[in-house]
Amino acid sequence: MTITTSSPGEPDIVVVGGGLVGSALALGLMRSGQRVTLLDEGDVAYRASRGNFALVWVQSKGLGHPEYALWSKRSAEAWHSLAGILREEAGIDVAHSQPGGFTICLSEAELEQRAAIMTRLHNQPHMTDFPYEVLGREETKRRLPDIGPDVAGAIYSPLDGHVNSLKLFRALHAALAARGVYYRPGHPVASIAPEADGFRVTGPWGELRAPKILLAAGLDNARLAPMVGLEAPVKPSKGQIIVTEKAEPFLRNPMVTIRQTDEGGIMIGDSQEEAGFDTVVGMSVISVMAERAVRTFPRLRELNVVRTWSALRVMSPDGFPIYEQSQAHPGAYVATCHSGVTLAANHALTLAPAIAAGGPLPDAVATFTSRRFHVPAGL
Ligand SMILES: Cc1cc2nc3c(=O)[nH]c(=O)nc-3n(C[C@H](O)[C@H](O)[C@H](O)COP(=O)(O)OP(=O)(O)OC[C@H]3O[C@@H](n4cnc5c(N)ncnc54)[C@H](O)[C@@H]3O)c2cc1C
């Protein structure tokens, strides 16, 4: 990871956390004219940004919270602009494409269940412009000739896509470096104290002050947010991923659990487990994932696995993002979500300019405050 140490000057804002969320927001803030200091604990931290599945995914998002479907779709649309900005500012092609994505079903019952979920999702308000199709086996086979005999059908949406997530991470940091961000890896934030004209941020490395602060520290937001009158009750959700050796390109479209990367490897994932801060790879979960992948595309049986890993998602109680400015200490913000790849475009191009402007956050994110966790049951 590039380390820049350009002259700090007086920052307008300190961003805590240099993962995908913090770095996308930091880039957007700099593009809006803000001087940014980015404090990051570094690679020793739990980092979802280095272990994710790299989907820019819309089709299944927003059941119970249609604004999240709209927010995801808006980001998928804005992703073309973000990819262009990264190409221009960082000189890195992050291999973004939006060819449409499939959710493969391995039995009629699975297909029916998935189709019922999509109907419920689309019966919600504002869900008029979310194209999707429920495909039977024959049509799925026509579009994906390599599927195996166990595939009963699929859900398809043209809104879905994917990127190279590690290239994205590198490109965001390279673009920040090119703009002269003051990036401090190995700088964990221990505490934050609101003061009359801003915030004092302290760690084992010393302290600094800034008029604004943005918490984008992934799982550590849960600890940091209350220090500035905010709340981010996020918890880890473990996901495991398998990567095979490189293969001839055969899979243009991403699926929710299988995709071929721009470099040729097949990624298989991604499970969800509530296992606390455990990041051990478990063979029982890996073998179920591998077995389903081989039933989906029997040709995968021929490929060697080259890597497996697990990483921790940053999960709020209802799975939706939290974006909020502190009412008690204006100028302090928190941003956290479990789809930081998908939402990177919104973070850089919509949320960051609003934070830079210092006013209220955009209407599009008005429902994503932590106040929703305090609605009494039954209301
Ligand atoms: C298995 C898996 C699959 C996924 N698949 C997808 C997908 O397909 N599509 C998608 O959109 N999303 C996906 N995600 C989610 C995505 O990776 C995350 O939403 C995103 O990486 C979260 O980024 P973040 O910056 O909030 O958190 P993190 O990546 O966890 O980064 C937090 C950063 O904060 C820093 N930090 C922590 N504490 C402190 C502190 N006290 N002081 C300073 N710095 C601190 C850390 O060093 C780290 O750099 C997946 C995640 C996992 C685990």
Find tokens 């402007």 and name the residue: 357
Q: What is the pLDDT of residue 280?
A: 73
The pLDDT confidence band at residue 310, using thresholds 50, 70 and 90, is: confident
Angle at 354 between CA 320 and CA 126, to 5 degrees: 45
This prediction has a pTM of 0.95
Q: Is the pLDDT of residue 9 over 50?
A: yes
- How does strand 182-185 pair with strand 36-40? parallel
For the CA of 22, the closest atom of ligand 1 is 25
Strand partners, 305: 244
Task: Please tell me the distance between residue 25's alpha carbon and the centre of ligand 1 in angstroms.
Answer: 13
pLDDT, average across residues 304-325: 93
Residue 348: how many other CB atoms lie within 10 Å: 28
Q: What is the pLDDT of residue 8?
A: 55
Phi, psi of 326 (to 5 degrees): -65, 130
Q: What is the mean pLDDT of the chain?
A: 93
Q: What is the pLDDT of residue 195?
A: 96
Q: Is the pLDDT of residue 4 over 80?
A: no
Distance CA 353, CA 359 (A): 10
Segment 223-278, tens digit of pLDDT: 999 999 999 999 998 889 999 999 999 999 999 999 999 999 999 997 777 778 77
Q: Which residues of 63-78 are buried (b: 16+ CB within 10 A; e: fewer)?
A: eebbbbbbbbbbbbeb
Dihedral sign for Cα 50, 55, 61, 66, please: positive
Phi, psi of 120 (to 5 degrees): -60, -45
Radius of gyration of the chain (CA): 21
Which of 200-208's residues contact partners 24+ apart within 8 Å by CB, and which partners?
201/14, 201/16, 201/39, 203/39, 208/8, 208/11, 208/14, 208/37
Q: Is the pLDDT of residue 57 over 80?
A: yes
Q: What is the pLDDT of residue 120?
A: 96
Smallest CA-to-CA distance from 292 within 52, 55, 105 is with 105
Q: What is the pLDDT of residue 75?
A: 98
Q: What is the pLDDT of residue 6?
A: 47
Domains, in order of start, for the chain: 13-52+166-234+318-374 (3.50.50.60), 101-158 (no CATH), 235-315 (3.30.9.10)
Q: What is the pLDDT of residue 376?
A: 63
Pocket probe for ligand 1: among 307, 314, 336, 346, the residue whose CB has the most ligand atoms within 8 Å is 314
Segment 171-222, tens digit of pLDDT: 999 999 999 999 999 999 999 999 999 999 999 999 999 999 999 999 999 9
Q: What is the pLDDT of residue 290?
A: 93
Q: Is the pLDDT of residue 378 over 90?
A: no
CB of 67 sitting under 6 A from ligand 1:
no
Q: What is the pLDDT of residue 138?
A: 98
Please give the span between the terminal C-alpha atoms of the chain, in angstroms, as a whole number.
47
Segment 73-132, tens digit of pLDDT: 999 999 999 999 999 999 999 999 999 999 999 999 999 999 999 999 999 998 888 999
Distance CA 98, CA 163 (A): 9
Strand partners, 243: 267, 307
- How does strand 161-162 pair with strand 191-195? unpaired
CB of 338 sitting under 6 A from ligand 1:
yes
Phi, psi of 312 (to 5 degrees): -105, 120
Task: Please tell me the distance between residue 48's alpha carbon and the centre of ligand 1 in angstroms.
Answer: 3
Pocket probe for ligand 1: among 1, 14, 25, 41, the residue whose CB has the most ligand atoms within 8 Å is 41
Pocket probe for ligand 1: among 1, 16, 53, the residue whose CB has the most ligand atoms within 8 Å is 53
Report the percentage of the chain scoring pLDDT > 90.
83
Q: What is the pLDDT of residue 89?
A: 98
Distance CA 240, CA 219 (A): 18
